[in-house]
Chain A
Amino acid sequence: GEEVAQTPKHLVRGEGQKAKLYCAPIKGHSYVFWYQQVLKNEFKFLISFQNENVFDETGMPKERFSAKCLPNSPCSLEIQATKLEDSAVYFCASSQRVYSGTDTQYFGPGTRLTVL
């Protein structure tokens, strides 16, 4: 498709519950990025993939966050034992290449996670 798709649009979880978010990148794009936007402030980079391989995970809080991009499946971001501070909008973006430096990242509409 020509748009990055993210599901669900909204997700509500009780503190301690698991949350799983999905992203389908634009067809033909090799790179997928996950970002967290808290309270409409700046985006925090979480992790990126080159196809199904982790490209950069320097932003991931590894103790509770995990992500995968498997062949022929949407990418996923999973949060185990959610905390109140995980409440945010999670954006997925995809691009054709990354190292060229000027490739546009196309963003999905985001998934709003609310932890109660």
Chain B
Amino acid sequence: KNQVEQSPQSLIILEGKNCTLQCNYTVSPFSNLRWYKQDTGRGPVSLTIMTFSENTKSNGRYTATLDADTKQSSLHITASQLSDSASYICVVSGGGSQGNLIFGKGTKLSVKP
């Protein structure tokens, strides 16, 4: 069964600290992996998209890594800010003709002053 598992479920950190969120997947075939940020009451916003040949991709203070062999990805947030408080969702695309995405349940990050 195609699944995307994220950990931790929730995380509280102090402003200015770094953190790393994890994503494991069993989606096959694999096309690409995306990280989204979802603020409360809003739709998800794309942070990074990586294909199987890409090991790392950055977007400002967000850096995503991908190990297609072990089917693991991580999202590293550097020098966290209060505005980083949100749910971070790992999403895997199986490609093919569907184009629909398989979503993890997300990690809820709270950044405290």
A67 to chain B, nearest CB (A): 14
Q: Is the CB of A101 within 8 A of B31?
A: yes
B34 to chain A, nearest CB (A): 8
Question: Which of A41, A98, A107, A109 is within 8 Å of B99, CB to CB?
Answer: A98
Q: B45 in the interface, Cβ–Cβ < 8 Å?
A: yes
Q: Is the CB of A105 within 8 A of B104?
A: no
Q: B46 in the interface, Cβ–Cβ < 8 Å?
A: yes
Q: Is the CB of A4 within 8 A of B106?
A: no
Per the bound structure, the CA–CA distance linking A55 and B49 in Å amounts to: 22
B-binding segment of A12-20, A42-50, A75-83: A42-50
Known: A91-B43, A104-B49. A99 touches B99 (CB 8 A): yes
Known: A101-B32, A107-B45. A42 touches B104 (CB 8 A): yes
A34 to chain B, nearest CB (A): 10
B43-96 with Cβ < 8 A to chain A: 43-46, 49, 51, 87, 89, 93, 95
Chain A residues near B31 (CB, 8 Å)? 101
Per the bound structure, the CA–CA distance linking A91 and B31 in Å amounts to: 23
A108 to chain B, nearest CB (A): 5
Which residue of B45, B46, B99, B101 has the most chain A CB atoms within 10 A of its CB atom?
Answer: B99
Known: A42-B106, A43-B103. A48 touches B98 (CB 8 A): yes
Chain A residues near B103 (CB, 8 Å)? 35, 42-43
Known: A42-B103, A105-B46, A109-B42. A58 touches B98 (CB 8 A): yes
Per the bound structure, the CA–CA distance linking A22 and B45 in Å amounts to: 20
Chain B residues near A108 (CB, 8 Å)? 43
A7 to chain B, nearest CB (A): 14
Q: A110 in the interface, Cβ–Cβ < 8 Å?
A: yes
Q: Is the CB of A59 within 8 A of B95?
A: no
Per the bound structure, the CA–CA distance linking A35 and B44 in Å amounts to: 11
Known: A48-B99, A56-B97, A59-B100. A102 touches B51 (CB 8 A): yes
Q: Is the CB of A105 within 8 A of B101?
A: yes
Q: Tell me the B residues contacting A by CB distance below 8 Å.
A: 4, 31-32, 41-46, 49, 51, 87, 89, 93, 95, 97-106
